[in-house]
Amino acid sequence: MLDKIKDLVDKVQQYKADSAENLEQFRLKFLSKKGEIGQLFDEFRTVPAEMKKQVGAEINKLKQLAQQKYDETLSALENTVSDDCKHDLTRPGEAFELGTRHPISLVKNEIVDIFNRIGFTVAEGPEVEDDWHVFSAMNFPIEHPARDMQDTFFVEKASSEPNPHDILLRTHTSSVQSRIMENAQPPIRMIFPGRVFRNEAISARAHCIFHQVEGLYVAENVSFADLKQTLLYFAKEMFGPDTKIRLRPSYFPFTEPSAEMDVSCSICGGKGCNICKGTGWLEILGCGMVDPNVLRASGIDPEVYSGFAFGMGVERIAMLKYQVRDLRLYFENDVRFLKQFKSAY
Ligand code: DAH
């Protein structure tokens, strides 16, 4: 019996299992119930009692050896692509998943593209700014509530009093206006996309980080009519050729006169629906004629030049475009959400 086992050990070791068929034959020959090892277990009953321990151990070793050879060969075969597969040109290709741009990037790129077409170039400014560029140069009175600790994230603050040297996270991209104007003379026709920060509790309708696109045009004889025509062009390009705009008087420290712009609701065409709360209009941006104080603070002569400016929230436009009204979704970056956005931008 021991000789027979030894003989089988040799046979198992020498067996060449190099294909799925060979391996199956190996399994039938050695490992199946009626295979050679299975028979040994049957014969084991006839082994004299004093030999049982030794013979049993040898049979177990043989069985383990065969099982190990089987397992190893199987995983080796699984890891090699058979020649048939390699050369089968009719097999479907492996899908290659392409990423998509973030919806906020798509909308921002579309806004930038629209203004590029009418001669606006792009510039960016720092997110960590000083009080001067965010507030003081933008004609914010010292006691203006937007300077309050409630709204602004301060990085370095000299005292509880506002100071143009305080360092903070910019609360709007209007700060880039003053950065550009202190270094360039008109004509200036630019847009400034970027991220802004406000100390707000996060909810479906508000977030402490969001995105804006600021626009600035300063030259000789720039009028409110130029502003209106530029924004009408933007609204039609962004929301469709039938879009109408209306300008409502408003207040911003850095523009005089100031206005807020509404576009006719692209969902109901102006008839009134729950998106526009029955009014037929959607508010999308703030704008106005650059205040002479702002020009002066950045070294531009308001006697010679005039300008218009506007600022819009990218999330706000994305909400209207995609009907996704919970702001938090734009920041969570759940791929199931992001995957839905595909566009040329
Ligand atoms: N900075 C304003 C805000 O964050 C938006 C704005 C309003 C920008 C009017 C402008 C403007 O340039 O003229 O709410």
Look at ligand 1, atom 3, and give the residue with the nearest C-alpha.
172
Q: How far is CA 99 from CA 224, 247, 330, 336, 342, in A?
A: 42, 39, 16, 12, 9
Q: How far apart are the CA of 258 and the centre of ligand 1, in A?
A: 9
Residue 86's pLDDT is: 65
- What per-residue confidence (pLDDT) applies to 158? 87
Q: Which atom of ligand 1 is closest in space to residue 254's alpha carbon?
A: 13
Q: Please tell me if the CB atom of residue 55 comes closer than 6 angstroms to any atom of ligand 1.
A: no
Tokens of 276: 């526009």
Residues in the chain: 345
Q: Which residue has the tokens 């910019």?
A: 170
Exposure b/e, 9-38, CB count within 10 A at least 16 = b: eeebeebebeeeeebeebbebbbeeeebbe
Q: How far is CA 152 from CA 11, 161, 240, 287, in A?
A: 81, 14, 36, 22
- Does residue 344 register a pLDDT over 80? no
Calpha distance 119→137 (Å, rounded) = 26
Both tokens of 120, joined, read: 């606006």
Give pLDDT tens digits for 4-19. 999 999 999 998 878 8
Q: What's the pLDDT at 115?
A: 98
Return the best residue to mutate from 134, 174, 178, 285 for the ligand 1 pocket (most ligand atoms within 8 A of CB).
Answer: 174
Are 125 and 181 in contact, with CB atoms under 8 Å apart? no
User: Cα–Cα distance between 173 and 192 in angstroms, integer?
Assistant: 7
Residue identified by tokens 């198992």 is 12
Q: Which atom of ligand 1 is nearest to the CA of 174?
A: 1
Whether residue 8 contacts residue 40, with contact meaning beta carbons closer than 8 Å, is answered with yes
Distance CA 152, CA 100 (A): 33
57 phi/psi in degrees, rounded to 5: -65, -40
> How remote is the C-alpha of 174 from its chain's centroid?
24
Q: What is the pLDDT of residues 174-215, one digit of tens each?
A: 999 999 999 999 999 999 999 999 999 998 888 999 999 999
Q: How far is the CA of 187 from the centre of ligand 1 (A)?
A: 20
Please name which of 17, 16, 14 lies closest in space to residue 77, comparing C-alpha atoms: 17
Instruction: Assess whether the C-beta atom of 288 lies below 6 angstroms from ligand 1.
Output: yes
What are φ and ψ of residue 259, in 5° steps? -150, 160
Query: Across the strands, what pairs with 262?
Result: 246, 283
Cβ of 172 closer than 6 Å to ligand 1, yes or no, is yes
337 pLDDT band, cuts 50/70/90, is very high
Question: What pLDDT digit, counting tens, does each position of 78-132 carry?
Answer: 877 655 556 778 888 888 877 889 999 999 999 999 999 999 999 999 999 999 9
- Whether ligand 1 lies within 6 angstroms of the CB of 255 is answered as yes
Closest atom, ligand 1, to C-alpha of 308: 13
d(CA 237, ligand 1 centre) in Å: 21
What is the mean predicted confidence (pLDDT) over 295-317? Answer: 97
Q: What is the distance in angstroms between the CA of the first residue and the CA of the last residue of the chain?
A: 78
Helix, strand and coil content of the chain, in percent to the nearest 5, comes to: 40, 20, 40
Helix intervals (H) in the chain: 2-14, 20-26, 36-43, 52-79, 83-86, 103-116, 131-134, 175-181, 224-239, 292-297, 314-322, 329-332, 335-338
| Calpha distance 329→323 (Å, rounded) | 12
Single pTM value for the model: 0.74
Q: Tokens in use for 25?
A: 């034959």
- Would you say residue 66 has pLDDT above 70? yes
Distance CA 121, CA 118 (A): 9
Residue 33 Cα, ligand 1 centroid: separation in angstroms? 83
Span 62-77, mean pLDDT?
92
Ligand 1 atom, smallest distance to 288 CA: 13
% of the chain beyond a pLDDT of 90: 71
Beta bridge partners of 191: 122, 215
Q: What is the separation of C-alpha 157 from the centre of its chain, rounded to a whole number of angstroms?
A: 33
